[in-house]
Amino acid sequence: MPNVLITGSARGLGLEMVKRFSSQGDFVIATSRKPSPGIKEVVEQSNGRVVFVPLEVTDDSSVAQSVKEVQSILGQSGLDILVNCAGVIADLDGKVAQMDDLAWHMSVNVTGVHNVTRAYLPLMQSGQVKKVINISSALGSITNAPHMTFSATPAYKISKAALNALTVQYALSYQDEGFTFVALCPGWVKTDMGSEKAHLTVDEGVNGIMEVINSVEQEDNGKFKNTYHAGWDFYDGKGIPF
């Protein structure tokens, strides 16, 4: 079974993904700045299938230390699947000129993903599956931007557009090594980030995420995927234009 590392595992989608991967028999390395009560409970009940490693994606030394710990845990095995789930979002009360949190969004949602991905590439190069899933958002679609004005989150949108571009560049750079890099929109999910106004429950959101992660192949390398949920035009599973 694959070895999986998930960032942003303390709560929400990340925490639920840890549970799902573990339940299907995979070995899961759950990471976040510090362990939440939810993660502690999952680790305790996992019979060794889940371990926690501290990882702050914006801190280079934390990233480097996490790699050392994960390498020690995996031994001779490689890392098969990396899910970059850690992210931030904030609303803006005003027009884009008033936006003063762009650097923060970029540091977590883009640079953090880049630094984690490149640090773990050596471990993934000895893995079997070689899937990197970057949790993105339809709000980052430049093509669909005129239809996304309902969400007053310009810094988040810009950072997710940049994350999509980063995903494509990695896909092009490592396609000859058998990697599959995918930007994945999980849909609008009722997490702390998504709020109770969202369309999907956490269970529904992660069902869709797991279907995509388990099914993508190298032919999907560099694509911007969305999930499928019956009864929703938004969630047709056919992909999102950049």
In a domain, 157, yes or no: yes
Gap between the Cα atoms of 48 and 22, Å rounded: 10
Closest among 79, 61, 58, 62 to 70, alpha carbons compared? 79
Look at residue 241 and tell me whether its pLDDT is greater than 70.
Answer: yes
Q: What is the pTM of this model?
A: 0.96
pLDDT value of position 192: 63
Look at residue 189 and tell me whether its pLDDT is greater than 90.
Answer: no
In a domain, 231, yes or no: no
Kindly state the average pLDDT of the residues 120-125.
98
CB neighbour list of residue 201: distance below 8 Å, 6 or more residues apart: 189, 190
pLDDT value of position 234: 78
Band of residue 49 on the pLDDT scale cut at 50, 70, 90:
very high
In a domain, 174, yes or no: yes
In a domain, 176, yes or no: yes
In a domain, 235, yes or no: no
- Structural domain tally of the chain? 1
The parent domain of residue 100 ranges over: 3-226
Band of residue 173 on the pLDDT scale cut at 50, 70, 90:
very high
Band of residue 206 on the pLDDT scale cut at 50, 70, 90:
confident
Strand ranges for the chain from DSSP E:
3-6, 27-32, 50-54, 81-84, 131-135, 180-185, 224-226
Among the residue ranges 49-53, 147-151, 230-234, the one predicted with the least confidence is: 230-234
Question: Can you tell me which residue has the tokens 């997490």?
Answer: 191
DSSP secondary structure, 143-203, as one string: TTGGG-TTS--HHHHHHHHHHHHHHHHHHHHHGGGT-EEEEEE--SBSSTTT-TTSSB-HH
pLDDT value of position 198: 56
CATH of the domain at 9: 3.40.50.720
In a domain, 234, yes or no: no
Kindly state the average pLDDT of the residues 108-122.
98
In a domain, 65, yes or no: yes
Per-residue burial over 86-105, b = 16 or more CB atoms within 10 Å of its CB, e = otherwise: bbbbeebeeeeeeeebeeeb
